Structure 1
């Protein structure tokens, strides 16, 4: 082989190694989160969907039936049937969302068909959490 051809192979090999190492470094970088939870959702401790459901159950005006599209008795019956399948445990990093809230979010989605974004504002959860609640509810009821 002549020296010009060897030089071209060497340059191409070096370029390949440089490009592949740059690509691997780019893959290893992960996006750093700026926060764990949006501040709007952090106020869930003060007033959450659980509190709202309790207030609606106490109110004799039928607002619970309008909100959940079923009576409180039917809600509790279904919650007792499906609750054990969708219940989450608290971890060291965060508290689990109560099963009443996840069930209520899924019911509201099925009854009204609101978007995950709108339900996230209503129940103080991220849209991703709302979608997880809905899909877990679907899997549990099958």
Structure 2
């Protein structure tokens, strides 16, 4: 747990220092950038970042104030809300990504052998599968 916390703290500091983003903000930008039309229902986004809808709503509101995302009513049913990545959000993501990827490599990937990375991937796939089923 201590190693995980140190890694996440280092990566969060790097993102804040170099891009004025947090890890949760970066993750939201990544998910939206990969979505069709750069847009997701807030419920899908919450599932993707493993966050409560309430917490995500506050996070997206802050990002909206910074011009990184916009929210609008779902055209499909008029009930839900979608978050959409703006051009500014995409610019911020593209600007942040190279240094963040370098930090992930330096502080995690390059410290391990390919076999160790395979084991970690297998272990966390299993953890995600089992806990994901339990969470419903």
TM-score (norm 1): 0.29
Higher-Rg member (1/2): 1
TM-score w.r.t. length of structure 2: 0.30
> Would you tell me which structure has more strand in proportion to its own residues?
2
